[in-house]
Structure 1
């Protein structure tokens, strides 16, 4: 007869692999599993720890334990369409617009993008995969280069998805770094303070004209970049 912690582990793993528990679903709280199986908290923890280590679940402080979302891969050398990548993977996608303002370029970043006399569209939002926040985005769009952006409803589609569809780009610069989740970004991504995040800062041109500047902060446990090179 198998130990109780192994039975609990096997039961949960079978539900995940069969699809009865889907990515993003919450696993019963520890006290619920204790009551269901008539075991101690130590036994429940002994059952859940290997599932966490295997990447099948994630445990979030004060929120509970959830079926882990598959890690989203993207290429370093391209401009990823997050909306397309998530829907292609079979998950529900949503972009939540947090802020949208039109202004004359004033800050250093804005003037670098549009020039001192130019106008910019400033956007903040969240990318969701299967109802879980995947990335926080802060974007500037040069309205002198892309005036139609001012009329687009970005509550219905992400800015990056729209730009890739209507504005051909000829040059891109990516800066990639790691940073801990802090403040409002940690809150937006539902991460603990200090959790690992992947940060991508991107500048895009059409010929010599700057199009957009964007900073995206990803949940480091749900997103990774892949590079592939051929030797010529």
Structure 2
């Protein structure tokens, strides 16, 4: 059964189409409508917003084109599940990756703070001046050994519900993948030598080689999160099998 839908307050400058789309996107982003959730039918949205079927159809079509919803004939429209297969490089959730290898996974939150984006945050995440961000640093372990240091920024303007989540027990990527849809991602792979802090956290020698994987995601051009994963160089492999294309 679909929960009763209450629209946001009317705006004086926004077109009705924009207001309806904004309301729906907010419910998807906040997790009120999780992946797989059936949205109100078109006639229900028409009654809620006192608008035409054409307007509602235009909104849902745009959301479907953006990858946020899936339309099923006669069944309705449903919130899309995250489609990680659209990324050129797949980086699965670290918890799932470690457990799939048959190893024991452990996670620890090292630091977490809400702050106004610094100059460095703005450059890295692509947000504006005074934008609120959630910054965190986490340790992932496999079989009791450090597997990765996660340094993450979350744009709270795009994902306000991140403030309500207990990241001391839930890894941020696990929560984001399950609750926050995205439409574009970018990966960057580099190498570095461990500085003092990283060496201590990963239990490796200072200056040891590390593999660094950076990822940023957006939803319709709006930044969602930026993460930097640092792995001990000897513990992580990137393998891809592919075929030639025309």
Please state which band the TM-score falls in when normalised by the shorter chain: 0.5 to 0.7
Say which of 86, 91, 96 aligns to 2:103.
91
Aligned-residue offset at 1:117 = 3.1
Task: Look up the match of 1:194.
Answer: 207
> Structure 1 regions of 5+ residues with no counterpart?
1-74
Following the alignment from structure 1 to structure 2, what is the Cα–Cα distance between the partners of residues 79 and 154? Answer: 20
Give the match for residue 101 of structure 1.
113
Give the counterpart of 2:89 among 77, 80, 105: 77
Q: Partner of 2:230 in structure 1?
A: 217
Runs of 4+ in structure 1 over 6 Å off: none
Helix, strand or coil for the counterpart of 2:244? Answer: coil
Matched, 1:175 2:188: yes
Q: Deviations over 1:83-104 (max 9, x none)?
A: 1111122221111101000011
Q: What is the DSSP-based 3-state SS (H/G/I as helix, E as strand, rest coil) of the residue aligned with 1:114?
A: coil
TM-score, L = length of structure 2: 0.60
Q: 2 CA distance for matches of 1:190 and 1:134?
A: 10
- The answer to whether the Cα contact below 8 Å between 1:204 and 1:211 also exists between their aligned partners in 2 is yes
| CA–CA distance in structure 2, aligned partners of residues 99 and 187 of structure 1 | 15
Please point out which of 158, 166, 188 is paired with 1:153.
166
Cα deviation for residue 227 of structure 1 reads 2.5
> Structure 1 residues 176, 76: closer, same or farther in 2, change over 3 A?
farther
Question: Please, which of 116, 140, 145 is the counterpart of residue 132 of structure 1?
Answer: 145
Partner of 2:216: 203
Q: Whole-Å Cα distance in 2 between the matches of residues 209 and 228 of structure 1?
A: 32
Aligned 8 A contact 1:113 1:213 in 2 = no
**In 2, distance between residues paired with 1:187 and 1:108?**
24
Change (3 A) 1:171 1:230: farther
Deviation at 1:79, TM superposition (A): 3.2
> How far 1:76 sits from its partner (Å)?
6.7
User: Helix, strand or coil: the match of 1:230?
Assistant: coil
- Could you tell me how far 1:199 is from its partner in structure 2? 0.7
Bigger radius of gyration? 1
| Contact in 2 for aligned 1:76/1:226 (Cα 8 Å) | no
Match of 2:238, SS state, is strand
SS in 1 for 2:115: strand
Q: Provide the aligned C-alpha RMSD in A.
A: 1.7
1 CA distance for matches of 2:135 and 2:122?
9
Aligned residues: 158
